[in-house]
Structure 1
Amino acid sequence: MKTSIEEKAGSRMPSVGSVDAVSYDAVAEVRTREAVVQLLLAHGPLTAAALAERIGFSSAAIRRHLEQLLAEGAVISREASTLGRRGRGRPARTYLLTEIGRTRLPHSYDALAIEALEFLSDVGGPDAVATFARRRAEGIVDGVRGELAAAVDVPAKAEILARALTGAGFAASVQEVGIGQQLCQHHCPVAHVATRFPQLCEEEMTVITQVLGTYAQRLATIARGDSFCTTFIPAAHQPHQLLPLSTIAAAAPNTASLHDAAPNNAAPHDQSHRITSATGKDPS
């Protein structure tokens, strides 16, 4: 009798010879590997023959998927244990998931992080969350503080900062935009958590201005629904000067759409018009 995993896997496979079998061939490949992973999770080490029987595919087809999973490091194989005398031919091999393989399964890390920060907020108040966010942001740049201190100018520091952010999973880059630079973070590994706790973005911005030693303006954030996080770093500035959004939009065309989407007489986001000083305070 098939388990719910096997029935689910089988029901998702398009029938051979149908239009769907051609149209969704790539999807079927992925789903078959998902079924293999689910079965290895539920039933422990299994041979290719056992997997094939449960899914309803040939052993050769399942071996092809296992080879792909082996190449990805998602599974490992070992010789199957046998009772009594072993027959002729190559010994059967069993397959089991690795830690890499387990990452293919659904996780609730974001939910756990949100619950932890909610508990921290209940126990220590909003300031405790901000302190945690600041410490986390500082940890991203701790490994490059020596390079930042030795950098000759702000553009050089921006490149070092982008490299540190990329190492932390933010896929950052720096672009020249006429009257300054634009620091783009094309991915945010904590975007869902930052939607609930904007302190993560706020304290990250504070640390960015501190390590750059200059003012900077956050124009967009993934947590607020934008395609990427954007920080404008002016080439030259006067202390306590707030650059008009129209000036920045003209210099950084990639952010112009944010202003089009903003309500009348309103900045696109709470932080989009903010300049944070090197001391971490708004120059108001």
Structure 2
Amino acid sequence: MKNVGTAPQAAGAPSNPPGSGVVPLHADGRTRREVARLLLEQGPVSAASVAEVLGLSPTAVRRHIDALVADGEATSREAPRRGQRGRGRPAKLFLLTEPGRARFGHAYDDLAVAALRFLAEQGGEEAVRAFAQRRVDALVDRHRAAVVAQGGPADRAKALAAALTREGYAASSRHVGAGEQLCQHHCPVAHVAAEFPQFCETETAAFADLLGTHVQRLATIARGDAACTTHVPVTVGDTQQAHPVTGAGHSPRPEAGRTARTPDGGKPA
């Protein structure tokens, strides 16, 4: 990303004075976050107002706002009309979108964990499992028809990956060895699942039922892995009947003589 303003300063030259509009390269990310913070706290707000608060030029601020808009983290609306409008483009005000607000974090995860702890205290582990099961059933039912319409586990895994992506899991499926590896690169409930593994267990069992074969969870974001990775066997002997996975640590063992590995070649946690 290029600097805004003049060429880089020579060694020993004084730093850019406040209000110069020059944003050093190393400060780019920090400045964009400050721009986003003002859109969060004061939006809808004009680029000129943000520039005045931060002591930057409107051009520099617009560059950051344009980047936030391009990433879907900010949006604009026309400023309210006051009096007779003159020539030129209507003034724009900017504010963050929901994805933009998410960069500042939510208390939702903490609230969910607290609620599940209370549920566990009142109804025990089975109450948490029942809640997790209802959640995954609702997710699966929305896409069951589209997934089971596919021919076999490999095609179903690809359809499931597409369905999970639509649900916000950023999923993909690729052929590896004797099967497919279904990878979920994002998990909306990872923070909760780290304390309540029932969420991962019920999800794995639901995948087995939906794909029509036993599956093996190799890695999870909740355990600190880079992605949630599920091995889906596609050999002839593995396509006859689904074998749901139940209980923590009770996934089917890897094929004899083979070590389960994650997509990057490492052993699962």
SS state at 1:247 partner: coil
1:9 paired residue number:
none
Give the Cα–Cα distance (whole angstroms) in 1 for the partners of residues 173 and 85 of structure 2: 63
**2:95 aligned partner, one-letter code:** L
Matched, 1:249 2:248: no
Give the TM-score of the pair, scaled to structure 2: 0.72
Q: What is the deviation of 1:233?
A: 2.5
In 2 relative to 1, CA 31–21 (structure 1 residues): closer, same or farther, beyond 3 Å? Answer: farther
Q: How many residues align?
A: 241
Give the Cα–Cα distance (whole angstroms) in 2 for the partners of residues 256 and 76 of structure 1: 44
SS state at 1:52 partner: helix
1:185 paired residue number:
184
Q: Which has the higher helix share?
A: 1
Give the CA RMSD over aligned residues: 3.6
Q: Is the 8 A contact 1:79 1:91 kept in 2?
A: no
Give the TM-score of the pair, scaled to structure 1: 0.68
**2:121 aligned partner, one-letter code:** D
Give the Cα–Cα distance (whole angstroms) in 1 for the partners of residues 213 and 30 of structure 2: 50
Superposed CA offset, 1:206-254 (max 9, x none): 111111222222222221122222222332249899555653427x674
Superposed CA offset, 1:99-129 (max 9, x none): 3443343322221221222222223322121
Q: Is the 8 A contact 2:39 2:96 kept in 1?
A: no
In 2 relative to 1, CA 59–123 (structure 1 residues): closer, same or farther, beyond 3 Å? Answer: same
Q: Is the 8 A contact 1:249 1:255 kept in 2?
A: no
Give the Cα–Cα distance (whole angstroms) in 2 for the partners of residues 198 and 257 of structure 1: 22
Give the Cα–Cα distance (whole angstroms) in 1 for the partners of residues 69 and 182 of structure 2: 38
In 2 relative to 1, CA 242–197 (structure 1 residues): closer, same or farther, beyond 3 Å? Answer: closer
Unaligned runs of 5+ in 2: 1-7, 17-22, 244-250
1:50 paired residue number:
49
Q: What is the deviation of 1:202?
A: 0.5
Superposed CA offset, 1:129-183 (max 9, x none): 1112112222222122223333332222222222222222223233333333332
Give the Cα–Cα distance (whole angstroms) in 2 for the partners of residues 161 and 122 of structure 1: 34
Q: What is the deviation of 1:26?
A: 4.3
**1:76 aligned partner, one-letter code:** S
1:62-141 matches, cutoff 5 A: 62-72=61-71, 74-79=74-79, 93=91, 95-100=93-98, 101-141=100-140
Larger radius of gyration: 1
Unaligned runs of 5+ in 1: 1-15, 260-267, 269-284
Q: Sequence identity, in percent?
A: 42
Q: What is the deviation of 1:21?
A: 7.6
Runs (4 or more) in structure 1 with deviation over 6 Å come to 18-22, 85-89, 238-241
Q: Is the 8 A contact 2:183 2:229 kept in 1?
A: yes
Give the Cα–Cα distance (whole angstroms) in 2 for the partners of residues 110 and 21 of structure 1: 41
In 2 relative to 1, CA 27–168 (structure 1 residues): closer, same or farther, beyond 3 Å? Answer: farther
**2:162 aligned partner, one-letter code:** R
